[in-house]
Chain A
Amino acid sequence: MSYDFRLPDLGEGIAEGEIIKWLVREGDKVEEHQPIVELETDKAVVQVPSPKSGTILKIYGSPGEKIRVGDVLCTIGEAGEKVSKAAAPKAAAPAKKVSTTVIGQLEEAPEEGEKKVTPITPKKTAEPAVAVLPAIRKLAQEMGVDISKIQASGGRITEDDVRRASGQAVKEAPRAPTVTFEKFGRVLRIPLKGIRRTIAENMRESLSKAAHVTHMDYADVTKLADFREKEKEGAEKKGVHLTFMPFIVKACVLALKEFPYVNSSLDEEKQEIVIKQYYNIGIAVDTQAGLMVPVIHNANEKTILEIARDIWRTAELARTREIQLKDLQGGTFTITNIGSLGGEFATPVINYPECAILALGRISEKPVVIDGKIVVRKMLPLSLSFDHRIIDGAMAAKFVNEIKRHLEDPDALLMGY
């Protein structure tokens, strides 16, 4: 295999030399490192050694000729080998012209100068850049929204802005597919407004936020019923219609004192359970307009008679729609009497943001086993829906038991223990 020996770097920024004389001839055998040619540079005369042993097959350049780094000096190979004219004796483009220095090799600039490096003052861009958080920028990219076209709702473009721009509903709830009721028959459409709409929103909020669980039990109110019978007349004389409700309110207050967590709310924002140290009992009232819950404030400070009076008063105001807002606010616990129309147990919806609601079923005489004997007792069905985020089933059960204890034993209710 013949080998074209190209002139390597000579050093000192020298990139070429003039051939003074050849030390070998074509056909000569040479040893590796044997000097084969003398070159003159503007520094000195340099002898160039052969990199290989072999036979000089062809010599390029005669004495007096200039030869550049990268040009072929000679071809070395086996004796008698045919050598095609070196493809490019004059280095067409030496990979890089280099010069050696005291340490290392430097690249040499080509003869022709390169383009001048002119400083540029950049033009001011027509469109200003858009400021947006990287995450939002990425979201816009994924949704195929051009952020430069979005109008920011506040100072900076937000996720909602991007979603709105893409026609999507804002935040979580993806839109549910709508059903066409008219497809199956005639319908009557009534606009949802007023109290109905408020109730609808409240119900949805309560059910979506509170973890509803309902605990159910019977309270034996036989003794209480007798007591009430006995006191009915006295109360009428005071202008109060005595129902079971004031007793139940009192019993609830006593139980709330025992189990303060039932008298609380969960502040989600602050991640705190707020235990109220006041006792405002709401009594759900059904009015023509809908469900209302007037509140008996500070029921713990009122006698049963006073509570009864309050109940009657607020209920009337509620029914006549003259009730003040303050009478509807501040409740800590709600009682709802569903039994007036019949029915025993229910799963009432908590009056959000309270912790629990007590539904009263219809008091009815039932056969009950006491001391092994079947007797007839007056039983009051109780359904307590509670927010399981705040209290557990065990506490709910104990709470209801406490209410029961007071309802089943009027002496305890009177004494408050």
Chain B
Amino acid sequence: MAKLTIVEAVRDALDTEMGNDEKVIVLGEDVGVDGGVFRATDGLQKKYGNRRVIDTPLAESGIVGTSIGMAIQGLKPVCEIQFDGFTYPAFDQLFSHAARIRNRTRGKLTCPLVLRFPYGGGIRALEHHNESPESYFVHTSGLKVVIPSNPYDTKGLLIAAIRDPDPVIFMEPKRIYRAIRDEVPEGTYTVEIGKANVLREGTDLTLISWGAMVREAMKAADAAAAQGTRAEVIDVRTLSPCDWDTILASVQKTGRAIVVHEAPHTLGFGAEIAARIQEKLLLYLKAPVIRVTGYDTPFPYFKLEDAYLPNPERIGRAIEQVMKF
């Protein structure tokens, strides 16, 4: 079995599913000849031709809007926006149309597109290249939001996303694009969208996270284990629709929950998780739900990036807090 990084797993997923289904189209800026600025689409144009792997003009709204048009006509567009901070011009097309076509036509027309983009900070990048905009997408009904944290899940979830009949926002944690190498099966397989993953069992508290923060959570869990605290770690994987059963069952068992995410604190997805936990599990909580997150500021330029991002130390302090409550 090959050992792939996350970005290689993206490429593998696209290659695999394009081979399976000729309706799958890849489009975006620099995805064809250049193979993508992170090489996520490397070699695909050579293999499938420039009618299926398309270099577009520089226009994010244009990319998503034309993808919607293609999807309605029966193609399966997998469009790429080069960086998280450039998805904003495409919000209109996503929220006004992609998210609503099925509802607007009572199912007569649907929009099975995938929008994939690298997201998150921690790579010493310029402004607009470090955003975590998942909350906007989760908040918009009609869209699905999927965020893998490792190569195996990446390939399986991306193939599942391409096959999903609804529009899927597939956010790839660029900080760990190449940092993890893992066994990824050849050929086609899927990981179910809408299912979280318990990465580690524990009894004292539940750490809930996604994307690049999963690794930070695991590091914090390791440090806590050395002190005798056993943390259960959940990788949410799909934020919308979210696997509440898994999350709530875990927190009911441990009675303590910490959510870790890069996105700003206010109305980050951690707020929804905390609201739901206290709604359903008030009687089982031994401590308040703590969210370790980015601050309510724009993502800083990279000299202050480490001051902003959650890290194992900050998570560790939160663990102490809930254990001592």
| Interface SS of chain A | loop
**Which B residues touch A105, using CB under 8 A?**
123-124
Q: Name the contact of B180 in the complex, choosing from A114, A123, A131 (C-beta under 8 A).
A: A114
Known contacts A13-B39, A129-B255; decide if A119 and B198 are in contact (CB<8 Å).
Answer: yes
A109: chain B residues at CB < 8 Å are 5, 178-181
Which listed segment binds A: B51-59, B159-167, B269-277, B281-289? B281-289
A102 on interface, CB distance cutoff 8 Å: yes
What is the distance, in angstroms, from A207's C-beta to the closest C-beta of chain B? 41
On chain B, the number of residues with a Cβ less than 8 Å from chain A's Cβ atoms is: 43
> Residue on A with the closest CB to B283?
A131
Q: Does B307 contact A (CB under 8 A)?
A: no
In the assembled complex, the Cα of A156 lies from the Cα of B174 at a distance in Å of 48
A108, A114, A132: the one contacting B283 at CB < 8 Å is: A132
Contact A99 B178 (CB under 8 A): yes
Query: In the complex, which residues 88-147 of chain A have their Cβ closer than 8 Å to any Cβ of chain B?
Result: 99, 101-110, 113-114, 116-117, 119-123, 125, 129-134, 137
Partner of B177, one of A102, A106, A129: A106
A129 to B253, CA, bound (A): 6
**Which of B39, B175, B182, B283 has most chain A Cβ within 10 Å?**
B283
Q: How many A-B residue pairs have CB under 8 A?
A: 91
CA distance A305 to B177 in the complex (A): 105
> A117: which of B37, B152, B284 is its contact (CB, 8 Å)?
B152
Please determine whether A108 and B178 come into contact, CB atoms closer than 8 angstroms.
Answer: yes
| Chain A contacts with B in 59-76, Cβ cutoff 8 A | none
Contact in complex: B183, A103 (CB < 8 Å): no
Contact with A along B75-91 (1 / 0, CB 8 A): 00000000100000000
| Cα–Cα distance between A110 and B183 once the two chains are bound (Å) | 14
Whether A117 and B282, one on each chain, are in contact in the complex, defined by CB atoms closer than 8 angstroms, is no
| Distance between Cα atoms of A230 and B140 in the complex (Å) | 97
Question: What is the minimal beta-carbon distance from B304 to any residue of chain A, in angstroms?
Answer: 15
Q: Are A103 and B201 in contact (CB under 8 A)?
A: no
Q: Are the CB atoms of A103 and B178 closer together than 8 Å?
A: no
CA separation between A299 and B14, bound complex, in Å? Answer: 98
The answer to whether A129 and B252 have CB atoms under 8 Å apart is: yes
Establish whether residues B39 and A103, one from each chain, have CB atoms under 8 Å apart when the complex forms.
no
B38 at the interface (CB under 8 A from A): yes
> Within residues 101 to 117 of chain B, which ones have a CB less than 8 A from any CB in chain A?
none
Contact B152 A104 (CB under 8 A): no
Residues B182 and A113 in contact, CB atoms below 8 Å apart: yes
B149 to chain A, nearest CB (A): 8
Measured between alpha carbons, how far is A90 from B176 in the docked complex, in Å? Answer: 25
Q: What 1/0 mask marks residues of chain B from 295 to 325 whose CB sits below 8 Å from any chain A CB? A: 0000000100000000000000000000000
Given contacts A108-B178, A109-B178, contact A122 B232 (CB under 8 A): yes
Interface residues of B in 224-270 (CB under 8 A from A): 232, 249-250, 252-253, 255
Instruction: Determine the distance from Cα of A114 to Cα of B282 in the docked complex, in whole angstroms.
Output: 38
Shortest CB-to-CB span from B118 to chain A, Å, is 9
Within 8 A of A (CB), among B89-139: 123-126, 129
Contact with A along B193-204 (1 / 0, CB 8 A): 000011111010
B153 within 8 A of A: yes
Interface centre among A116, A130, A132 (most CB of B within 10 A): A116
In the bound assembly, the distance between CA atoms of A109 and B284 in angstroms comes to 40
Indicate whether B3 reaches chain A with its CB closer than 8 angstroms.
yes
Closest to A111 in B: B181
For B124, the chain A residues whose CB sits under 8 A away are 104-105
B197 touches A103 (CB 8 A): no
Contacts of A116 in B (CB 8 A): 152, 182-183
A317 to chain B, nearest CB (A): 57
A137 to B177, CA, bound (A): 44
Interfacial chain A residues near B203, Cβ < 8 Å: 125
* Given A117-B150, A120-B198: A103 touches B37 (CB 8 Å cut-off): yes
Residues 44-69 of B, flagged 1 when their CB comes within 8 A of A and 0 if not, give: 00000000000000000000000000
Residues of B within 8 A of A (CB): 3, 5, 37-39, 83, 123-126, 129, 149-150, 152-153, 174-183, 197-201, 203, 232, 249-250, 252-253, 255, 282-286, 302
Chain A positions near chain B (C-beta within 8 angstroms): 13, 99, 101-110, 113-114, 116-117, 119-123, 125, 129-134, 137, 156
13 contacts between A and B (CB under 8 A): A102-B38, A106-B174, A106-B178, A107-B175, A107-B176, A113-B182, A114-B182, A119-B198, A121-B198, A122-B201, A131-B284, A137-B286, A156-B283
